[in-house]
Homo-oligomer: A and B are copies of this chain.
Amino acid sequence: MSDVQTVLRNVRPWGAAAADIRIADGAIVAVDPHRPGDDVLAGDPATRFIDGRGLLALPGFVNAHAHLDKSWWGRPWVSYGGVATTQGRIEHERAHRGELGIPSPQSTAALLRALVSQGATAFRSHVDVDLGVGLDGIGVVRDAVASLGVPVALEIVAFPQDGVLRRPGVLDLLDQAAAAGAEHIGGLDPASIDRDPVGQLDALFDIAVRRGVGIDIHLHDGGELGAFEYELIIERTLATGLAGRVNVAHGFAIGEVAPARQQGLIERMREAGVSITTVAPINAPRLPLDALRAAGVPVGLGTDGIRDLWGPFGDGDPLRLAARLAQLAGARRDEELTAAVRLATSDAAAFVGRAVHDLVVGSPADIVLVDAENVPEALVAAPPRELVLVGGVEFA
């Protein structure tokens, strides 16, 4: 344990009574009732004190589905072009990313700084891996995170945005990425993009088992086609023992099938240990988030891409994102609003490889302060972040 500790004094964890949070070696080591008075400060020369001014404290936000490598954040405006289909956007991106220097160390770092300043402290980022850029994007993202000066958590998904089987050589790249330390390998619409759902999934699970990494698959395919791919993923997760290490991203299909079919899929996901991440899209089929959560299926929330060649939207504010998720679910009551913040913070620990990520002893000291009366108000008002601590270090 380090000699110097930090105490974040007089904050209201989750809106509870004022507390003093003691931090050592990047982790929370005590959460005590707040003790006002100068005697506290005077008596402890080896401790650094931060005045929390009675602000509301939340855990750092977990961005469980980011694309940190492909933004043009910080550059002059880039007008959107391309055909409005998944394939059209893939082609548009591959045709124009070079002009923008994507994957760009500068844009990636600028975007990350914007995101962390808004309270995100842990990321699972998909990073394009394809025949054009190879594995370069992974290094760009890791370097950008390292440049932040605070211990932001990062898990990489080596993401075959341009397809897997249809692009010979990409499987090798995924294997190399996994061998080089990527925590997960990605996939993309095994049916509609690769035209071979069994083939893509078998190949991905083979790498995951051999290399001991997770799988995180973009699944836009809808209706029964997408539901069938859910089944293929679940079957392979059970067969390989990868429970807890397989995630479906987007996964619109489960919001489109009939209720009984949906409930069956949810049950099977729970059995297999398959999680799901959403970016709370306002223009896509609704996921049955309440039913998924009730069944014990982990649900993660992410920003998706921000200002990239897929579209210009996104500011990365995790409170506004959680509010959108809550609104999509029809949430109005305090406990529903608070649950949306939990989903985006403490409940998302596993999406970034953590056992605990909360305002409790033993958690990394990722703490966000806002001026709000309570958690529901923080959600609906998205007030400025007064302080962001990452591993106990102030981000500025």
Contact = CB atoms under 8 A, between A and B. Distances in A.
Interface of A: 76-77, 79-81, 84, 282-283, 307, 311-315, 323-324, 327-328, 330, 332-334, 337, 373-374, 376-377, 380-382
A127 to B, nearest CB: 23
Nearest to A282: B282
A333 B80 contact: yes
B315 A381 contact: yes
A376 B314 CA distance: 12
A327 B284 CA distance: 11
A80, A307, A382 pick with most chain B CB within 10 angstroms? A80
Contacts of A314: 380
Contact of A330 (B79, B283, B323, B377): B283
A290 to B, nearest CB: 13
Closest 4 CB pairs of A and B: A80-B332, A282-B282, A79-B334, A311-B332
A324 to B, nearest CB: 7
20 contacts: A76-B373, A77-B374, A77-B377, A79-B333, A79-B334, A80-B332, A80-B333, A81-B333, A84-B330, A282-B282, A282-B327, A283-B330, A307-B380, A311-B332, A312-B332, A312-B337, A312-B380, A313-B323, A315-B381, A315-B382
A76 B372 CA distance: 10
A380 B313 contact: yes
A337 B313 CA distance: 10
A282 B376 contact: no
